[in-house]
Amino acid sequence: MVDLQAAGQRAIARCDALGVAPYSDSHTGLYRAWLTPAHRAAQDKVAQWMGQAGMATRIDAASNLVGRYQGNMPDAPALLIGSHLDSVRDAGRYDGPLGIMLGIECVAALQASGTRLPFAIEVIAFGDEEGSRFPASMFTSRAMAGTLSAEALDGIVDAAGVSVAEALRGWQLDPARIAEAARRPEQVIGYLEAHIEQGPVLEAEGLALGVVTGIAAQLRFEVTVTGRAGHAGTSPMPLRADALAAAAECVLAVEAIARADDSDLVATVGRLQVLPGATNVVPGQVPFSLDVRAGDDATRDAGAAQILGRFQAIAAARGVQVQAIQVQDLPASPCDVHFIALLEQAVAAQDIAPYRLVSGAGHDAMVMRALCPTAMLFVRCDGGISHNPAERAHAADAGVAVAAMLDFIERLGATRGT
């Protein structure tokens, strides 16, 4: 019999333990980027916990930590249970790690009862879901899903000018061999990800858990506005080509277009840099990020096209140049219908009314869909707050999530024979 209270408390406590140095690259809050010392320290600690739960661990060619609990046959295909270890800057402690900890708790329960299934279970700790170090994201899940090539790493650098290839070499990994992380479809029966909701719906509904039906489509761009730097005191206002003023108008256009759209379109500028960045210099160049999302590809693409068209109109009116480079394209990702049904049954078995949601946030599950059927379980979080130190999930909800995941695993095993 699984002690769900202890399992939930342990999962939350482990997330909390990973929220401070040496598991953070910052001493003033949580920031754990891909292929950094904090990532290495966190990965080592999670590998220790996986081993205690009865798993054999390894690091694949893309830096993913993989813990395997064997099925009733040594070469059985695996159900993957995973989420990510990396974080945004000034992050909360549960976005990503909680899903890994819940997977470990599921395996620990199976190990304690001596249960072996017609499939193996592999718990995956992905390294780069957030994309907080490099302009693109989900390198590690894309590598596992077989949708990332070594060439895709070319020219991608972090703020310090370190390339993805260099960062991998720093971990004694060969970027030319990253494709070796790809799993074959016959090796995998599906992918299950548990994650805090990152929204307020479940809390408003009074529900600990929710079943995800799909993940919204995303586009990311790196945009650069190039004007003409000049002396702040001697450059007449009518003769300026102020890159920051143009960028500011672009940012407001992003907001206006998304707000005016009668759909679920959202668009965000989350990062902006002013160059040369001096008080007495008219800005000459402003790079910024653009993130566009919607529940379907067509809405997302139409919104992005409208935004980029508006950028060009602003550039022409202000005498500057705007270049937008697409760095990521993640299509909408529906979850598997059969898995949704099994997960709803598993949630109902915990005396929770099954509640369906679409995820506006991106997750590794949307990438893994290229490899296998996927399912996602959302766990309630306080106020829907995420990507913020105030992010909070509770042990009782985590324990119920473990119970639902184990029920899902049992039901999936029954469909595949014993």
Q: Name the binding residues for Zn(2+).
A: 84, 95, 130, 195, 387
Question: How far does the chain reach from its first CA to its final CA, in angstroms?
Answer: 20
Q: How many CB atoms lie within 10 A of CB 128?
A: 29
- CB distance 335 to 212 below 8 Å: yes
The three-state DSSP-derived secondary structure of 153-171 is HCCCECCCCCEHHHHHHHC
Strands in 217-226's sheet, in edge-to-edge order, are 266-268, 285-294, 217-226, 321-330
Residue recorded with tokens 């509904």: 205
**The pairing of beta strand 217-226 with beta strand 285-294:** antiparallel
State the binding site. Answer: 84, 95, 130, 195, 220, 280, 293, 387
Tell me the binding residues for allantoate: 220, 280, 293
Of 332, 328, 137, the closest CA to residue 216 belongs to: 332
Helices (H), 74-128: 97-113
Strands 217-226 and 321-330: antiparallel
With 0-12 / 13-18 / 19 or more C-beta atoms within 10 angstroms meaning exposed / middle / buried, residue 365 is buried
Whether residue 8 contacts residue 398, with contact meaning beta carbons closer than 8 Å, is answered with yes
Do the bridges between strand 78-84 and strand 374-379 make them parallel or antiparallel, or are there none, so unpaired? unpaired
User: Per the structure block, which two tokens stand in for 308?
Assistant: 């980029």
Torsion of CA 301, 306, 308, 314, to 10 degrees: -170
Q: How far is CA 339 from the centre of its chain?
A: 21
